[in-house]
């Protein structure tokens, strides 16, 4: 029986995929796998049996990835599964920023009780809330991954000029991007030319506070900023100062802190980007399927700390090894297996940065001694033996 611990509320569309061999709840004691959304795992002691963590979502900055890798724990996420939900909220943020929709609605509420006067007062007062159309204006999109691409394409179809910047653009992403999205060669190009700037990059040491006073000083006066990626990508005091001075016309963010709440021209959303039933279901389904395939078959799809490696099951015993990406590991493994009279029928191996993963389908008995021998190799972080299973 596999034990799965849920650190957040996960859609039953996902959790119902765990069959009778699974127990899945928030109170599991020593889980083999964890399902998480935004709960922070940084202070958590990682359970001894833990084999995998699946983030039902995109950002993994709430998970101690290096610590997981050192312990041979695979960390999955669900790329693209909530991208449409975020795109729709970004479009809402773009229109709300430009057209002063929130201030207008708040003001309209103040007319409550004015009876027949309301119509006249609305017509008289509405000029305070004039705001420009987005058509014909330039949107700079920083980060052209699953979300950035959808935002860029949608903004173009709403009549905007779109400039995109992503030095690590993947081939798949390039295929998905409208040809009308112009390639910005540097962040400075985005800053200089954009009326609206939206950021869709992961929070990493090199993206932390990338939008700060220096970056803002290179932007147009009255630029509108949108942050539906992570709070830490923006230096909050710098953005706040720029909003107060009018350099930044509006700051729409899904990640407010106390200093931003109630500030004029700051639109604070309560981290709603992925809060749609569709994306909650998509993320939960994908995360559950990734865990099931890893726990039962050792297959890896969409891990952030290991490459994708998977093979169909063909009735062989399977050995899965999470190891350091250093020379000579495969020859050491095959030596140990040959000495134990175990034959390799099929094998896949791939590396990603400091770590690598190998799946070996074998014939011959894999005893506990052999498994221990493999795990004792200094390069091996974790060895698993999965009993034979028919196709
Ligand atoms: N508000 C919300 O509820 C949600 C927020 N997010 C946030 O949005 C981020 C992006 O999500 P996805 O588009 O799904 O991820 P993704 O991994 O598909 O795309 C990220 C893109 O950023 C690019 N990138 C990385 N470093 C960069 C840099 N220094 N400059 C420019 N581009 C850079 C990558 O090449 C990649 O194309 C997530 O990491 C997460 O933090 C994601 C989903 C929901
Ligand atoms: O699960 C959520 O609501 C947050 C989604 C998110 O921020 C992400 O996928 O990175």
Residue-wise pLDDT tens digits, 336-384: 999 999 999 999 999 999 999 999 999 999 999 999 999 999 999 999 9
**For ligand 2, is residue 274 a contact (CB within 6 Å)?**
yes
Find the 228 Cα to ligand 2 centroid distance in Å. 10
Looking at the CA of 144, name the nearest ligand: 1
Strands 161-165 and 138-142: parallel
pLDDT of residue 50: 98
Q: What is the pTM of this model?
A: 0.97
**For ligand 2, is residue 79 a contact (CB within 6 Å)?**
no
**For ligand 2, is residue 93 a contact (CB within 6 Å)?**
no
Looking at the CA of 83, name the nearest ligand: 1
User: Which CATH number describes the domain made up of 84-96+133-268?
Assistant: 3.40.50.720
pLDDT grade for 21, boundaries at 50, 70 and 90 = very high
Which of 92, 202, 206, 233 gets mutated to test ligand 1 (max ligand atoms within 8 A of its CB)?
202
Write the secondary structure of 155-202 as one string of H (helix), E (strand) and C (coil).
HHHCCCEEEEECCCCCHHHHHHCCCCCEECCCHHHHHHHCCEEEECCC
* Nearest CA residue ID for atom 2, ligand 1: 273
The segment(s) of the chain belonging to CATH 3.40.50.720 are 1-82+275-305, 84-96+133-268
**For ligand 2, is residue 145 a contact (CB within 6 Å)?**
no
Looking at the CA of 37, name the nearest ligand: 2
Residue-wise pLDDT tens digits, 188-200: 999 999 999 999 9
**For ligand 2, is residue 230 a contact (CB within 6 Å)?**
no
Residue-wise pLDDT tens digits, 115-154: 999 999 999 999 999 999 999 999 999 999 999 999 999 9
Query: Chain-centre distance of CA 367, in angstroms?
Result: 39
**For ligand 1, is residue 151 a contact (CB within 6 Å)?**
no
Residue 230 CA: nearest ligand 2 atom is 7
| Percent of the chain surpassing pLDDT 90 | 99
CATH topology of domain 307-391: Alpha-Beta Plaits (3.30.70)
Q: What is the ipTM of this complex?
A: 0.99
Residue 60 CA: nearest ligand 1 atom is 39
Residue-wise pLDDT tens digits, 350-361: 999 999 999 999
**For ligand 2, is residue 275 a contact (CB within 6 Å)?**
yes
With 0-12 / 13-18 / 19 or more C-beta atoms within 10 angstroms meaning exposed / middle / buried, residue 328 is exposed
Residue 204 CA: nearest ligand 1 atom is 26
pLDDT of residue 289: 98
Residue 78 CA: nearest ligand 2 atom is 9
The CATH number fitting domain 1-82+275-305, selected from 3.40.50.2300, 3.40.50.1370, 3.20.20.60, 3.40.50.720: 3.40.50.720
Q: Is the pLDDT of residue 391 over 60?
A: no
State the average pLDDT over residues 42-55: 97
**For ligand 1, is residue 230 a contact (CB within 6 Å)?**
yes
Q: Is the pLDDT of residue 390 over 90?
A: no
């Amino acid at each position: 029986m596999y034990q799965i611990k849920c650190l957040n509320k996960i859609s039953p569309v996902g959790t119902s995929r765990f069959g009778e061999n699974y127990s899945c709840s928030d109170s599991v004691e020593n889980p083999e796998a964890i399902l998480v959304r935004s709960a922070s795992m940084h202070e958590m002691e990682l359970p001894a049996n833990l084999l995998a963590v699946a983030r039902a979502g995109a950002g993994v900055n709430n998970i101690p990835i290096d610590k997981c890798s050192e312990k041979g724990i695979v960390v999955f996420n669900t790329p693209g599964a909530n991208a449409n939900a975020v795109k729709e909220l970004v479009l809402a943020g773009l229109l709300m920023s430009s057209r002063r929709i929130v201030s207008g609605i708040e003001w309209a509420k103040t007319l409550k009780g004015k009876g027949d006067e309301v119509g006249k007062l609305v017509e008289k007062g509405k000029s305070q809330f004039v705001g420009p159309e987005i058509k014909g204006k330039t949107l700079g999109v920083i980060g052209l991954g699953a979300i950035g691409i959808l935002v860029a394409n949608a903004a173009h179809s709403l009549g905007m000029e779109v400039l995109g910047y992503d030095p690590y653009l993947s081939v798949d992403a390039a295929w998905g991007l409208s040809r009308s999205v112009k390639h910005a060669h540097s962040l400075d190009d985005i800053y200089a030319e954009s009326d609206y700037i939206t950021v869709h990059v992961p929070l990493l040491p090199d993206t932390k506070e990338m939008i700060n006073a220096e970056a803002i000083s290179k932007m147009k006066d009255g630029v509108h900023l949108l942050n539906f990626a992570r709070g830490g990508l923006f230096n909050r005091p710098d953005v706040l100062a720029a909003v107060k001075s009018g350099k930044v016309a509006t700051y729409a963010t899904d990640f407010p802190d106390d200093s931003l709440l109630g500030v004029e021209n700051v639109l604070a959303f309560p981290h709603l980007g992925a809060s749609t039933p569709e994306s909650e279901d998509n993320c939960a389904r994908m995360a559950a399927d990734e865990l099931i395939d890893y726990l039962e078959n050792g297959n890896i799809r969409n891990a952030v700390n290991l490459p994708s490696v998977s093979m169909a099951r063909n009735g062989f015993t399977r050995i899965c090894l999470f190891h350091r990406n250093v020379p000579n590991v495969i020859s050491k493994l095959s030596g140990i297996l040959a000495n134990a009279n175990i034959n390799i029928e099929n094998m896949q191996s791939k590396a990603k940065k400091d770590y690598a993963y190998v799946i070996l389908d074998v014939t011959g008995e894999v005893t506990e001694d052999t498994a221990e021998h493999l795990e004792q190799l200094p390069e091996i972080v974790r060895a698993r033996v999965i009993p034979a299973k028919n196709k």
